[in-house]
């Protein structure tokens, strides 16, 4: 099963194989002014978990004020089922760095209990098999710089995603948690 989601800045190819593996492939689109913020989706049929993932991504782009009410998609990917360093980093990011929050590579290394693994954390972000769902775009340099996305080929997409989240979730996050945030606020980087 497979679904293509087209958003203002990228296309996402959400697919599963044999009911056991999910992947989200970000397909680069040329950056253009966002005139039409509607998201178009080819329907996914038959796999409820895949449909939930598609629905979550559609909501993220089309109705961002509503996405935080949805449960996060299930992570059906062999990497996420493993006991590897990369899986630990990605699970921590997935569970701890929510909408409107950012974290530095250094702080994420600290969060997994391995403060010297900053470069390895960066490598895990670069090789994330489920971007957008496991939000590697929310990981920044300690200096506040946005860092790379998609191996440096999607840096403008990362900035767009951070701006999108800042616009819709930073103020909500500050209201809900009294202004406390994990890592740096997207407001300080973009």
Average pLDDT, the chain: 76
Question: 44, 67, 90 — which closes off a domain?
Answer: 67
Per-residue pLDDT at 189 exceeds 60: no
Residues 87, 156, single domain; the answer is yes
Q: Within a domain: residue 82?
A: yes
Predicted confidence (pLDDT) per residue in 39-80, tens digit: 444 554 567 777 888 888 888 888 888 888 888 877 766 677
Q: Within a domain: residue 7?
A: yes
Q: Looking up tokens 């693994």, which residue turns up?
A: 117
Active-site position among 136, 139, 140, 190? 136
- Domain with residue 88: its CATH number is 1.10.10.10
Domain housing 154: 78-188
| Half-sphere exposure for 96 (CA within 13 Å, toward CB) | 17
E strand or H helix at 156: helix 155-165
Q: Within a domain: residue 108?
A: yes
Q: Within a domain: residue 72?
A: no
Residues 48, 140, single domain; the answer is no
Residues 113, 168, single domain; the answer is yes
Known catalytic membership, residue 53: no
Query: Pairing between strand 139-140 and 103-104?
Result: parallel
Secondary structure of residue 27 in the 3-state scheme: strand
pTM, full prediction: 0.74
Q: What is the pLDDT of residue 36?
A: 39
| Per-residue CA distances from 5 to 9, 26, 27, 41 (Å) | 11, 10, 10, 4
Q: Within a domain: residue 73?
A: no
Structural domain count, the chain = 2
């Amino acid at each position: 099963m497979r679904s293509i989601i087209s958003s203002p800045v990228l296309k996402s190819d959400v697919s599963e194989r044999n009911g056991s593996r999910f992947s989200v492939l970000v397909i680069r689109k040329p950056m253009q002014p966002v005139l039409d913020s509607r998201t178009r989706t080819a329907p996914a049929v038959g796999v409820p978990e895949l449909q939930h993932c598609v629905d979550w991504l559609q909501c993220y782009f089309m109705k961002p004020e509503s996405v935080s009410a949805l449960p996060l998609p299930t992570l059906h990917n062999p990497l996420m089922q493993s006991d590897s360093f990369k899986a630990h980093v990605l699970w921590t990011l997935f569970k701890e760095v929510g909408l409107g929050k950012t974290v530095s590579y250094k702080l994420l290394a600290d969060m997994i209990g391995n403060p010297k693994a900053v470069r390895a954390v960066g490598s895990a972000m670069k090789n994330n098999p489920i971007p957008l769902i496991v939000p590697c775009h929310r990981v920044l340099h300690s200096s506040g710089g946005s860092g790379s996305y998609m191996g440096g080929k999607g840096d403008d997409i990362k900035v767009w995603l951070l701006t999108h989240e800042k616009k819709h979730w930073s103020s909500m996050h500050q209201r809900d948690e009294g202004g406390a945030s994990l890592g740096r606020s997207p407001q300080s980087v973009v």
